[in-house]
Amino acid sequence: MPTTPHHIVEVAIPLPLEGSFHYLVPSRLSPLAVPGTRVLVPFGRRKVTGYLLGDAPAAGGELKEVLEVLDEAPLFTADELAFYRWIAGYYLHPLGEVIKMALPAGINLVSRYRCEKAEDGTPVLKEFLAGGKSVRTERFYSRIPDTEAKPRGKGVEILEFLQFLAEGGEGGKDGEISAAALRARFGHCTPQLRRLVELGAARCIDREVYRDPFRAETFDADSPLALNADQAAAFCRIGAAIGTGAFSPFLLHGVTGSGKTEVYLQSIAVALAAGRSALVLVPEIALTPQLVGRFKRRFDCGIAVLHSGLSDGERYDEWRRIRRGEAVIVIGARSALFAPLTRIGVIVVDEEHEGSYKQSEGVRYNSRDLALVRGKLASAVVVLGSATPLVTSYYAAQNGRLGYLHLPNRVRELPMPETVMLDARGQRRKTFLQPLIEAIEANLEVGGQTLLFLNRRGFATYLVCEACGHVLRCPNCAVTLTYHRGRGRHVCHYCDYSIPAPAVCPACKGSEITLLGLGTERVEEEVKELFPQARVSRMDRDTTRGKGGHARVLKALEDGSVDILIGTQMIAKGHDFPGVTLVGVISADASLNLPDFRSSERTFQLVTQVMGRAGRGDKPGRVLVQTLAPEHYALTHAVAHDYEGFYAEEIAFREDVGYPPFTHLASLTFSGIAAAQAENSAEEAVSLLRKIKGDCGLRVEILGPVSAPLGKVRGRFRWQILLKGRDRSELHRILFHFRGGFSHPSAVRLVIDVDPVEML
């Protein structure tokens, strides 16, 4: 084999820089420097960790050398690299940052300095690599057979016990037992163990162990349910598609309780039987603890659960289990999309309409969309499930780009809850209209549970002075402060700025200050006043901080120790609470009035979901919706359980104004401490965009710049440009040329968001 004198490699660096970089590999490192490993390389005056992408052809010019190869084995495969490249191209983001985001945080090394003493005693700074690798090991002991050692005292007992294990006693795995278990049995025994090893009677070995957050729980096995006709039809099509081994995407449209999860479970069983793996994405695991249990009961194969509550170490453990093929089902939130599964057979995206699949900083990817891309690269089946599909998904199904599977009825033939709209117009200051009060009372009397939904936490929306009209605002963000009675402060929900509640108006020193608007805290207080006999609880971001916060509140509802639960959208998500027989929507208007073209869609989804919490048990449910907009189509169709009706109106609106699915969007947000600087940059950007559009003859609409709906956040003024393109590739071309040709002052930040979800 001819030897290559120069082994040159292409390296991606996780910094906001375009392109990749070439380095020379010294011969001592050459065998280790394989694609998919991390390498330490000089970069400017720093040393940084980069990702080795592959060999590069020899080129002119001096190259710097790779300093170190940081992994014994590749962290990502060629297939995964292809996926990362796709993401970097689509979201216009540096490849190195995409890779860094895709790999678990636990492995990233950082360069640090440490103060050490030189030989003459003077302190010097030395660079070292702070190991990010957080593998946990545990020491195990076992008997070495046929040795005649004579320990003493406690050592005799321990040796006898190890002998007993070696002969298969206590089902000891390979006759091994951990040091921790020995200490639990014999008390402090480290010297005795050390002595046994010295005597050659026992051996010890350090083994890698996993931190398993679910280890303590055991699950009783269950078996597949006999499917009803609709479920069977959906399952047949998914199963057949898995059998073909080709990419095929489906929309599974089924009301809550229609048995979608059972279809997922049985489809996954088909994939596993075909020797393939499965990925299940859910919006937020903490909100759906019951789901993981259903998977653990059904499958006895390895299941990895990835969620935001894991420490970096726990996450890294799960990642390694998946990489080694020890877990073949992965359940997780947004970032689980990057789980290192091989041979994926099916990807499920549950609640596909959820906005939380979109990452809102860094690489602004959308897991729901990327599930389709990963599924295509892996020749897998992708199932997007929802009771309220995105109108873009439903449109794709109507046009044959997604297979359409429909579960129109609840499994247990329970009637949909009876729903009533309550017109709150002209009664502004009332938190509860009379029919809602009566319904809660009646429900309390029969021992039913009630959910009250309001999508705003805190006590009051804002403080206003009735004398001079002064409103308390955040000095850093263009929003009003929300009063939190529990903390006694007015708080900004964007930057957490807060001030103590004032006794007089800060502007005119008058005392006629009023709290306007409703928050969950205030609803809770009023409920307690109205129904002193009821057991009341609240669930929002303030009451569920910390690990296990959600679980605590949900458990109380489940075991019946709560009569009325008040909450934000957190209570809307997929829980199954048989005891809930009444749902009250306190106000459906907050989300309707957001300056975003998706506000109707979001409101429809939210109200439908909250309604779906009623009557999941044996008793039928009731839903009351209070609103100032009782004629709005998002609400009339939600209350009528009429998705198709809503879709028809919404799709007509989207076509009229040229929004997705009829166009593709990208937003450019410029922000700066100085308002003029951000605005000027945005103006210059528009000129360049117009020029590119003209030069290339692209059909892309350029809107703006305008001051963003949230004109100021954390002290930075924000200006926005919106690009609309009928053709996705033309939109990408203009962005690509723009990024290559545009520069802005370093004081200005530019964020390019492809397929933005949040338009504020």
**Which residues contribute to the site for Zn ion (CB under 5 A)?**
474, 476-477, 492, 494-495, 497
* Residue 163 touching ligand ADP (CB under 6 A): no
Contacts of 513 (CB under 8 A, 6+ apart): 463, 464, 465, 466, 502, 504, 505
Q: In angstroms, give the least distance from the CB of 489 to Zn ion.
A: 13
Task: Please identify which residue in the block is written with the tokens 């540096």.
Answer: 94
Interface residue with ligand ADP among 14, 96, 104, 254 (CB under 6 A) is 254
**Quick one: what does residue 280 bind among Zn ion, ligand ADP, none, with the CB cut-off 5 to 8 Å set by partner type?**
none
* Residue 259 touching ligand ADP (CB under 6 A): yes
* Residue 228 touching ligand ADP (CB under 6 A): yes
Instruction: Closer to ligand ADP by CB, 37 or 256: give it.
Output: 256
Say if CB 206 and CB 137 are below 8 A apart: yes
- Written as one letter, the residue type at 56 is A
* DSSP-based three-state secondary structure for 187: coil
Contacts of 745 (CB under 8 A, 6+ apart): 672, 677, 681
Contacts of 244 (CB under 8 A, 6+ apart): none
**Quick one: what does residue 753 bind among Zn ion, ligand ADP, none, with the CB cut-off 5 to 8 Å set by partner type?**
none
Instruction: Closer to ligand ADP by CB, 269 or 377: give it.
Output: 269
* Residue 601 touching ligand ADP (CB under 6 A): no
* DSSP-based three-state secondary structure for 625: strand
* Residue 637 touching ligand ADP (CB under 6 A): no
Interface residue with ligand ADP among 37, 49, 192, 231 (CB under 6 A) is 231
Could you tell me how many residues of this chain bind ligand ADP (CB under 6 A)?
14
Q: In angstroms, give the least distance from the CB of 370 to ligand ADP.
A: 23
**Quick one: what does residue 497 bind among Zn ion, ligand ADP, none, with the CB cut-off 5 to 8 Å set by partner type?**
Zn ion
Instruction: Closer to ligand ADP by CB, 231 or 544: give it.
Output: 231
Q: In angstroms, give the least distance from the CB of 623 to Zn ion.
A: 35
Q: In angstroms, give the least distance from the CB of 49 to ligand ADP.
A: 42
Calpha distance 68→52 (Å, rounded): 11
Contacts of 28 (CB under 8 A, 6+ apart): none
Q: What are phi and psi of 230, to 5 degrees?
A: -65, -45
- Written as one letter, the residue type at 433 is L
Calpha distance 662→684 (Å, rounded): 28
The torsion defined by the Cα of 325, 329, 331 and 332, in degrees rounded to 10, comes to 30
* Residue 258 touching ligand ADP (CB under 6 A): yes
Instruction: Closer to ligand ADP by CB, 605 or 663: give it.
Output: 605
Say if CB 209 and CB 142 are below 8 A apart: no
* Residue 288 touching ligand ADP (CB under 6 A): no
* Residue 267 touching ligand ADP (CB under 6 A): no
Calpha distance 437→354 (Å, rounded): 31
**Quick one: what does residue 259 bind among Zn ion, ligand ADP, none, with the CB cut-off 5 to 8 Å set by partner type?**
ligand ADP
**Quick one: what does residue 110 bind among ligand ADP, Zn ion, none, with the CB cut-off 5 to 8 Å set by partner type?**
none
* Residue 411 touching ligand ADP (CB under 6 A): yes
Burial class (CB in 10 A: 0-12, 13-18, 19+), 746: exposed
Instruction: Closer to Zn ion by CB, 374 or 712: give it.
Output: 712
Q: What are 110's strand-pairing partners?
A: 130
* Residue 621 touching ligand ADP (CB under 6 A): no
Instruction: Closer to Zn ion by CB, 155 or 458: give it.
Output: 458
* Residue 298 touching ligand ADP (CB under 6 A): no
Question: Strand runs (DSSP E) across 219-358, as ranges?
Answer: 248-254, 277-281, 303-306, 329-332, 344-349
* DSSP-based three-state secondary structure for 274: coil
Q: Given CA atoms 421, 423, 428, 432 in this order, what sign does their dihedral have?
A: negative
Instruction: Closer to ligand ADP by CB, 305 or 527: give it.
Output: 305
Q: Which helix (H) or strand (E) holds 317?
A: helix 312-323
Interface residue with ligand ADP among 225, 236, 273, 507 (CB under 6 A) is 225
The interface region with ligand ADP, picked from 250-258, 355-363, 440-448, 620-628 by CB under 6 A, is 250-258
The binding site for ligand ADP (CB under 6 A) comprises 225-228, 231, 254, 256-262, 411
